[in-house]
Amino acid sequence: MNLAKWTVGLMAGMGMLAFAAQAEAGEVRVTVAEYSAKTGPYFEAVKKEFEAKNPGITVKFEVVPWDVLLQKLTTDITAGTNADLSIIGTRWLIDFVQQDVAEPLDGYITPDFKGRFIDTFLSPSIMDGKTYGLPIAASARAMYYNKELFEKAGIAKPPATWTELQEDARKIKALGSGTFGFGLQGKEIETDVYYYYAMWSQGTEILNKDGTSGLGTPGALEAAKLYKSMIDEGLTEPGVTSNNREDVQNLFKQGKVGMMITAPFLSNQIKDEAPKLKYGVAAIPAGPTGARGTYGVTDSIIMFKNSKNKDEAWKLLDFLFSTEQRAKFTQGEGFLPVNKEEAKLDYYVNNADLAAFTALLPDARFAPVIPGWEEVAQITSDAMQKIYLGGDPEAGLKDAAAKANGVLKK
Amino acid sequence: MQNRFLPYLLTLPSLFLAAVVIFWPVWDLIQISTHDVSRFGQLRDFSGLTNFAALAADPDFIAALWRTGLWTVLVVGGALLLSIPVAMILNMDFYGRGIARVIIMLPWAVSLTMTAVVWRWALSGESGMLNSALLGLGLIDHNIQWLAQAETAFPMQVLIGILVTVPFTTTIFLGGLSSIPDDLYEAAALEGATPLQQFREITFPLLKPFINIAIVLNTIYVFNSFPIIWVMTQGGPANSTDILVTHLYKLAFRIGKLGEASAVSLVMFAILLVFTMIYVRLAMREQRA
């Protein structure tokens, strides 16, 4: 008797779960990444505005922290319970396309719609001539420097080359009192990217022309030796491998670090948390031949192939990529404009910080579009950590290059 | 006749539940780990033991395997050694015992992830509380970068692991201690037994079943414990603080090798199963004897 009751209860519970997972007609579910505390409220506002303009369509945003986004998507897709639209890192797009879960958007895109975008940012979402995603967020990296420390150390202008950067770092270190010349990130997401800045300035690319890993080249070794020598000389903050990007940014906000390379959103954070800090934004230093590179990143919003409400979902995309909506989102989060019309707004034109970033865009490299990229990035980060901890750069890079080539061959 | 089938009938509901929550996922894991599998879990060709062979050839996996053993032994052993005296003190009658018990139990009430986050801040090299406390006390003359290398990060993680395991273990022992009748101690004291003798001849033997259960439960729990290591170092730098769960997480959700990750999961399941069976066998035999 009791057992029967339980079974009935269990069945009813399961039934409700199944019902809840089923999409309602006219409902668009969107998985979005939480970039900052402003992300949730922004999409709440979008929901209200869009639903008012489009009766009959309801929108449901699922805001997910960045760190677990890929995990959530993996499990959702495996279980077949994914949303209609989702924000993804554009570097993951190739997996989604190869697994045939992303819907090409070319059927919906009019020439007029395509004309809204700045090409640099739209092109990473195009694969085999088909547009699989729209750049919802775009960013690049540039060098932040602390003007007050520079003044105290008698440095007139931000360094143009890595050699100058080393000299400036020495001068800042000489100030003593817990100040560090160059903030070097050595932990968690983008540890590999922090190394590429030095590598690109040596004229070395992540992938050689023949598709093998660039880690085995002399340029890569020079770059690793540069960072290691700076650590050994005490020009960076101590304990590099215990500092992730946020940790180094915090040191910068506290005025302890002279220079660091990071994304435009640091400007917004400084405005909120350390408004008195005097800082400037400059280009990433160049190498001996004048080569330099910054990291360009876009996140794309994609439509899933198994979506049952594609037309409604497209309407939402069209709404999200209107100039007004883009401006609200981009300015709130501190990203770079992806719409041409948006980029002409006063906010961007008169912003010296952002100008430094946009000036670097011609030198921007995006993460290579290859399967297994995440693994290659992980191998690179691990190798860098070993070198930062005192390992031999030559042996470390040789080993990493071999591992990376093993992945790339597949 | 009826009596022979009744026990089986009565265990049927729980067997059914076990099948749903244990056997089915394990079967799924076996499927995934023996197939070539896409990033999103779609099974492709049967690949036999390729995924397991890849693990055996992966030095990071082997290192994580040994480290998991070390982690489990240190945390479970440390918690055990600490919990017995703590439980004995808390079992005594003294003023403020209620408050002392609450304080010991508090780490249990805070979520493990939050504890780890707080410790990550406390261990921060430049602005961490631990460094400023040690500097203030004059014990060190420059900041220690606790989480920068495994040599300092891993022992810290073990200590935190012990700290959060103590409340549960103490609870078990308190239950055990309260089941020991006071007359035993009184009689022993009359015969002139020292406190140490009382502990060795009365407390410890009578506490043994509780110690056994604490070892089994804690081992399972600590072996699978993810938050402390993940939050503080993500298994880094350069995988030098990885244990099997963090290694598995990276394989599955960073790199997208679901097949190999499932294989790791099965290896962990097998290790725990074998450990539990052997241990429970040994413990039970001892009790019967």
pLDDT, tens digit (0-9, with 9 covering 90-100), for B70-86? 999 999 999 999 999 99
Does any domain span residue A212? yes
Q: Rounded distance, CA B186 to CA B87, Å?
A: 20
Cβ of A238 and B146 within 8 Å? no
Q: Note the pLDDT of residue B2.
A: 62
Does any domain span residue A15? no
Q: Rounded distance, CA B127 to CA B121, Å?
A: 8
Q: Note the pLDDT of residue A3.
A: 45
Cβ of A375 and B127 within 8 Å? no
**How many domains in chain A?**
2
Does any domain span residue A18? no
Distance from CA of B219 to the nearest CA of A (A): 27
User: pLDDT below 70 — which residues of chain B?
Assistant: 1-2, 287-289
Q: Is B39 on the interface with A (CB under 8 A)?
A: yes
Query: How would DSSP label each residue in B184-250?
Result: HHHHHHHTT--HHHHIIIIIHHHHHHHHHHHHHHHHHHHHT--HHHHHHHTT-STTTT--HHHHHHI
Q: Note the pLDDT of residue B289.
A: 54
A304 strand-pairing partners: A102
What Å distances lie between residue B44 and A12, A229, B52, B163, B271, CA to CA? 34, 48, 17, 45, 28
- Considering only the beta carbons, identify the residue of A99, A374, A388 that sits closest to B38: A99
Chain A residues lying within 8 Å of B31, measured CB to CB: none
Q: Note the pLDDT of residue A287.
A: 95
Closest to A97 in 3D by CA, of A129, A138, A61: A129
In terms of domains, do A30 and A110 share one?
yes
CB pairs < 8 Å spanning A and B: 92
Q: Note the pLDDT of residue B197.
A: 93
- The parent domain of residue A183 ranges over 142-292+370-409
Cα A172 to the center of its chain, rounded Å: 30
Cβ of A78 and B40 within 8 Å? yes
Q: Which residues of A touch B (CB under 8 A)?
A: 3, 6, 70-71, 74, 77-78, 95, 99, 101, 178, 186-188, 237-243, 247, 250-251, 254, 256, 374-375, 378, 382-383, 385-386, 388-389
Query: How would DSSP label each residue in A295-350?
Result: EEEEEEEEEBTT-S-HHHHHHHHHHHTSHHHHHHHHHHHT----BHHHHTSHHHHT
Q: Rounded distance, CA A330 to CA B280, Å?
A: 59
Cβ contacts of residue A306 below 8 Å, gap of 6+? A80, A82, A101
- Considering only the beta carbons, identify the residue of A250, A251, A375 that sits closest to B255: A375
Cβ of B126 and A251 within 8 Å? yes
Cβ of A74 and B255 within 8 Å? no
Q: Rounded distance, CA B6 to CA B12, Å?
A: 10
Q: Note the pLDDT of residue B1.
A: 52
C-alpha atoms less than 13 angstroms from C-alpha of A257 in its C-beta half-sphere: 26
Cα B26 to the center of its chain, rounded Å: 21
Asked whether A294 and A363 are in contact (CB, 8 A), the reply is yes
In terms of domains, do A271 and A178 share one?
yes
Which burial class, exposed, middle or buried, applies to A339 when counting CB atoms under 10 A from its CB (0-12, 13-18, 19+)?
Answer: buried
Chain A residues lying within 8 Å of B146, measured CB to CB: 242
Angle ∠(A107,A109,A110) on CA atoms, nearest 5: 115
CATH number at residue A133: 3.40.190.10
Cβ of B255 and A386 within 8 Å? no
Cβ of B256 and A3 within 8 Å? no
To the nearest whole number, what is the mean pLDDT of chain A? 91
Cβ of A74 and B40 within 8 Å? yes
Q: Note the pLDDT of residue A90.
A: 92
- Nearest chain A residue to B238 by CA: give it: A382
Token pair, residue A52, equals 């008012």
Q: Rounded distance, CA A326 to CA A320, Å?
A: 7
In terms of domains, do A226 and A90 share one?
no
Does any domain span residue A350? yes
In terms of domains, do A195 and A287 share one?
yes
Q: Is B59 on the interface with A (CB under 8 A)?
A: no
| Owner of token pair 């007359």 | B183
In terms of domains, do A150 and A203 share one?
yes
User: pLDDT below 70 — which residues of chain A?
Assistant: 1-25
In terms of domains, do A167 and A255 share one?
yes
Test the B interface: residue of A95, A241, A244 with most B CBs within 10 Å: A241
- Between β-strands A257-262 and B43-46, what pairing exists: parallel, antiparallel or unpaired? unpaired
In terms of domains, do A37 and A186 share one?
no
User: ipTM higher than 0.90?
Assistant: no
The answer to whether the Cα torsion of A191, A197, A198, A199 is positive or negative is positive
Exposure string for B126-162, b = 16+ CB within 10 A, e = fewer: bebebbeeeeeeeeeeebbbbbbbbebbbebbbebbb
Does any domain span residue A20? no
Q: Note the pLDDT of residue B86.
A: 94
- Considering only the beta carbons, identify the residue of B125, B127, B253 that sits closest to A238: B125
In terms of domains, do A193 and A269 share one?
yes
CATH superfamily of B42-288: MetI-like (1.10.3720.10)
Q: Rounded distance, CA B9 to CA B15, Å?
A: 10
- Considering only the beta carbons, identify the residue of A187, A247, A374 that sits closest to B255: A374
Cβ of A250 and B127 within 8 Å? yes
Cβ of B125 and A74 within 8 Å? no
List chain B domain ranges. Answer: 42-288
Cβ of A74 and B127 within 8 Å? no
Cβ of A242 and B13 within 8 Å? no
- Nearest chain B residue to A75 by CA: give it: B40
The answer to whether the Cα torsion of A196, A228, A164, A219 is positive or negative is negative
Does any domain span residue A182? yes
In terms of domains, do A192 and A274 share one?
yes
- Considering only the beta carbons, identify the residue of A6, A99, A389 that sits closest to B237: A389
Cβ of A239 and B145 within 8 Å? yes
Chain B residues lying within 8 Å of A179, measured CB to CB: none
Distance from CA of B283 to the nearest CA of A (A): 34
Q: Note the pLDDT of residue A25.
A: 65
In terms of domains, do A301 and A215 share one?
no
In terms of domains, do A254 and A385 share one?
yes
Q: Note the pLDDT of residue A20.
A: 46
Token pair, residue B198, equals 């009382």
Q: Rounded distance, CA A251 to CA A243, Å?
A: 10
Q: Note the pLDDT of residue A182.
A: 97
In terms of domains, do A398 and A259 share one?
yes
Chain A residues lying within 8 Å of B125, measured CB to CB: 237-239, 242-243
Does any domain span residue A113? yes
Distance from CA of A344 to the nearest CA of B (A): 38
Does any domain span residue A324? yes
